[in-house]
Structure 1
Amino acid sequence: MSSKSMNKAPSRISDLQVWKQYPLGWRLVAGYAVLFIGSVIVLGALAYGLLVYFLQQPDRAFMETQARQLAATYEAGGPQAMRRMLERNAADEQYQELVVRLTNDQGDTFFLHNPDNWQAPDLDRLAAADSPDTASWIPLGAAQDQDPIEAFALRISPARILQVGMDAPLSDEILRSMKWVFLASALPVLLIALIGGMLLAHRALRPLRTVVHTFETIIETGDVGKRAPVPEVQGEFAQLAHLFNQMLDRIERLVEGMRTTLDNVAHDLRTPMTRLRGQAELAVRSDSTTEDELRDALANTLNASDTVLEVLETILNVAEMETGTVSLQRSRMAVSDLAATVVDAYQFVADEKDITLTTDIPQPLFVQVDAGRMRQALANLLDNAVKYTPPGGRVTVQAAALPANDTYAARLTVRDTGMGIPAHEQPRIWDRLYRGDQSRTERGLGLGLSLVQAIVQAHEGRIEVESETNEGTAMHVWLP
């Protein structure tokens, strides 16, 4: 590649970068103006070309017709017959502008009919024209009187060439006027292009300006409840405004969720932290504290710190599962063994609430899972089932084998007869730290189901909820 071409490439890139620095509105105006003016120029050139064609066509047709008639007359009676033919038509205005010349390949003149008084330089250019093989047009440009002239050359014998020419003052005057019209209309066309471009750009960018204004309002006030008006006419900007509003809806839900989460975290951490501080202060301030009382205080302090650590560890577990940073230790495990350990752990709690806890798992049924993580997920599901099932209710852990051609090996279900989950809350129960209205009466941060979903998805499984208010809930887990 040459150094010149290498220097031109950075220049083009630099020009493009400078062009992109201008506001979008100005670029649209400039683009529209260039497109409009270019279209006008193309249409004007096309109109001018058609006008030239239609103005010249009658004169050309007349010259060619007369040339062929004169050629036939010459063949019949020679130059004298041509002269008589021209004299007979001398009263015709078109014949008065007709120049007829008989010549040979060397440019010698054997016959000349010049009623329009073409001057010598014009005739010299006619004589210097190339000889045609059969017939051709000879463009001669402007005559000495500035009228355009043209001639038609016809070979009438091996040694003779007939040239018939005319000037076209009227056509030239029309074309000259047409040029002045184009030049005079250039400035109005430019103004129309710029004004039209500004109006169209202003109207086209109006939805974008409303989106920008909404952004600015949100930034200034912090009110994420603002929404951009969606244009009635559907198009790209209407879609942009709609997507922008959807994004704001999601941001508003996230902000509201963060506020609710902070309230829940503050509420659930305040109790163990208060107990921890109270026990520590009691042990420090009392002079008569016995060794047993100190042990009790330390035990209570450890219990409170364990509660805080459990909350923090659950939050970290959910984050690690969602980001995929946890490595699973998968192994082939019987579903019955997996469920038995967790069910035994919650049997006492269920008995205390007078809840029947049963299992229905066929043998043998195996899955490839991380035993510790899957027990953690199943424990969360059982904890919720027992927690939200009233006394006298039932909680059942079921499992079913799936066909060999299915993506998953087994489906595990935790079913209860509790209060159920309202339909409008079901899509959000998987959100981290979300707690439904009915669940606020129970202790918890709302991290359980988000952790369960994260664990199941980390195993490339699937989890779904089936629930009706006051009818109970079934959590279905598909495992590989």
Structure 2
Amino acid sequence: MSLGSINKTMRTTAFKLSAIYLIIFSIFAIFLIVYISLNTQLLMTRQLNSTIEAEVRGLVEQYRSGGMPGLVKVIEERSRRPGASLYLVTDSRGHYVAGNVAALPKWVLDERGALEQSVPYQRLGEPERKEYNAVVSVYEMFGGYRLLVGRDVGEREIFRKVVEQAFIVSAILMIVLALLSWMFVSRKVLKRIDAIAEASGNIMRGQLDERLPVTQAGDEFDRLSENLNTMLSRIEMLMKGLKEVSDNIAHDLKTPLTRLRNRVEVTLASESGDSESYREALEQTLEESDTLIRTFDALLRIARVEAKSTQIEKCALDIGAIASDMSELYEPVAEDEGAVLTWEAEAECLIRGNRELVSQAVANLIDNALKYAVRHVAEQREKSAKDGSGTLPDVARIHISVKRKGEKPENGDANDPRPIILTIADNGQGIAKEDRARVLQRFVRLDKSRSQPGSGLGLSLVNAVASLHEAHIELGDNEPGLVFSIHFPPDERAVADKVAQESD
């Protein structure tokens, strides 16, 4: 591995996290091992002292009951037993009387009681005179005799060495495992990051359909990639929409602009032009200009709604009341067109939204339904008259309904959790299934609609308004005709907003 690769690896988050974890776990392991070792040694020392004190008390009782001969007999018997216990009886001059201790420092017998430190000794009967350590207690008896009872601490020393070895082995093993885990994690993390960086580079080079890799592991990298992929899909969709809008603007606005220019050019080139012809040309030019202005206003409004501008204010809205108001507004228009407009709405169908935009969306839907239903019925009547069948189709019918989906909760809670469905149904020509998703895009007009006035932006605005209010659109077949439904999700804040508005 080169120096550059090592420096790159050491700058990674994986290396830094591994180093931090290694330091933390090392400190914790050292503390745990030292704590267990010290407490275990302390516990063993206490057990040794307790055992020695118990033996001293037992031997003193033997001395009191059997005198020195009885004590010597018991000590000789116990000294022959294998184990870590030590016994020694000396006279007033320090000469050996009984026991299994061959030699120990002279100052030990001058002490009284339990000694705080371990003392070296040599065991009786061993030719090598090997030196050991023991914890002892000295007791002075009548006539200057001294009794020493102790326990060898070799087991404690062995335990201490075992702990030291365990500590060294654990430290080495922990470092090795930490390095191995770091290498594994670092390699895995760097591989994922390199894959993300490569995909990001491809996207920056213009491959907008490229997506960040997702391994289905469900980790934070996958969650990040999924969120970024969703964002990239949205950006790609917006870019495609922008391209389509540019193409559609060039296609759909070129014709009226050309027509406007030609009209002005013809009028100016006319030698017999009078004020009346000029006036007619200006009126037609003004009408064409108004159509263009309305088209650009619709585009700006759609862009503002799709951007979810913070300037769009929202409040509690009753969808049923808005639908009823717009239906009453369009009812005279429907009568003039020979159509029948009906509506029904449940009470308190509250959402939190923008009244102007929702009203505009409902108006666009009613206007579309009325326009295409009337035209379809007229075409059917004309066709029937030509065929001579004598049967005429029914009049154009548009029905608007606002209701909640599902059964009403039994508790009658004001925060009704059911979604609200706004439906506009007509008996027009309808829309084929393969075209239903496409008609929601900007400037999309079906072939049969090309001869009708309009810009193809009405349903695009409806789609943008629905997205702003987190609603989804469904298009169905009315047999004949179209059923256009907007499903608004329930919003508990709408009820709170209405209460606040009423209190104000």
TM surpasses 0.5: yes
Percentage identity across paired residues of the two chains: 22
Alpha carbons 1:385, 1:395 under 8 Å: kept: no
CA-CA distance at 1:193 after TM superposition:
1.7
CA-CA distance at 1:447 after TM superposition:
2.8
CA-CA distance at 1:306 after TM superposition:
0.9
Aligned to 1:211: 196
Instruction: Summarize the Cα distance change of 1:69–1:343 in structure 2 as closer, same or farther, 3 Å threshold.
Output: same
Structure 1: 5+ residue stretches without partners: 1-20, 103-110, 130-137, 351-355
CA-CA distance at 1:473 after TM superposition:
1.0
Aligned to 1:473: 482
Instruction: Summarize the Cα distance change of 1:128–1:70 in structure 2 as closer, same or farther, 3 Å threshold.
Output: closer
Aligned with 2:339: secondary structure? Answer: strand
Which of 19, 29, 54 in structure 2 is aligned with 1:30? 19
Alpha carbons 1:339, 1:375 under 8 Å: kept: no
Instruction: Summarize the Cα distance change of 1:55–1:411 in structure 2 as closer, same or farther, 3 Å threshold.
Output: closer
CA-CA distance at 1:384 after TM superposition:
2.3
Aligned to 1:417: 428
Distance in 2 (CA, whole Å) between partners of 1:80 and 1:336 is: 121
Aligned to 1:298: 282
Query: What is the identity, as a one-letter code, of the residue corresponding to 2:430?
Result: M
Alpha carbons 2:133, 2:153 under 8 Å: kept: yes
Instruction: Summarize the Cα distance change of 1:63–1:314 in structure 2 as closer, same or farther, 3 Å threshold.
Output: same
Distance in 2 (CA, whole Å) between partners of 1:306 and 1:464 is: 30
Which of 300, 312, 323 in structure 2 is aligned with 1:325? 312
- 1:115 is aligned to 2:101: yes
Aligned to 1:140: 117
CA-CA distance at 1:307 after TM superposition:
1.4
Distance in 1 (CA, whole Å) between partners of 2:435 and 2:42 is: 76
Moved more, 36-45 or 209-218: 36-45
C-alpha RMSD over aligned residues = 5.6
Aligned with 1:275: secondary structure? Answer: helix
TM-score by length of 1: 0.66
Alpha carbons 1:358, 1:397 under 8 Å: kept: yes
Deviation per CA, 1:223-254: give whole Å up to 9, x if none: 12112333244444444434443333333323
CA-CA distance at 1:477 after TM superposition:
7.1
Distance in 2 (CA, whole Å) between partners of 1:187 and 1:334 is: 76
Aligned to 2:242: 258
Query: What is the identity, as a one-letter code, of the residue corresponding to 1:313?
Result: D
Moved more, 232-241 or 406-415: 406-415
Aligned to 2:502: none
Distance in 1 (CA, whole Å) between partners of 2:44 and 2:420 is: 87
Deviation per CA, 1:118-139: give whole Å up to 9, x if none: 2145556x5375xxxxxxxx54
Distance in 2 (CA, whole Å) between partners of 1:34 and 1:334 is: 66
Query: What is the identity, as a one-letter code, of the residue corresponding to 1:118?
Result: L
Query: What is the identity, as a one-letter code, of the residue corresponding to 2:366?
Result: L
- 1:82 is aligned to 2:83: no
Alpha carbons 2:112, 2:139 under 8 Å: kept: no
Aligned to 1:447: 457
CA-CA distance at 1:49 after TM superposition:
6.4
Aligned to 2:495: none
Alpha carbons 2:313, 2:354 under 8 Å: kept: no
Query: What is the identity, as a one-letter code, of the residue corresponding to 1:82?
Result: L
Structure 2: 5+ residue stretches without partners: 1-9, 91-96, 122-129, 381-392, 489-497, 499-504
Alpha carbons 2:421, 2:485 under 8 Å: kept: no
Alpha carbons 1:63, 1:166 under 8 Å: kept: yes
Aligned to 1:398: 399
CA-CA distance at 1:358 after TM superposition:
1.6
Aligned to 1:172: 157
Would you say how many aligned residue pairs link Structure 1 and Structure 2? 433
Alpha carbons 1:228, 1:241 under 8 Å: kept: yes
Alpha carbons 1:414, 1:475 under 8 Å: kept: yes
CA-CA distance at 1:310 after TM superposition:
0.3
Deviation per CA, 1:178-228: give whole Å up to 9, x if none: 525644764564243223222134335644553343223312x22121123
Aligned with 1:230: secondary structure? Answer: coil
Instruction: Summarize the Cα distance change of 1:215–1:439 in structure 2 as closer, same or farther, 3 Å threshold.
Output: farther
Distance in 1 (CA, whole Å) between partners of 2:263 and 2:62 is: 136
- 1:149 is aligned to 2:134: yes
Aligned to 1:7: none
Instruction: Summarize the Cα distance change of 1:48–1:245 in structure 2 as closer, same or farther, 3 Å threshold.
Output: same
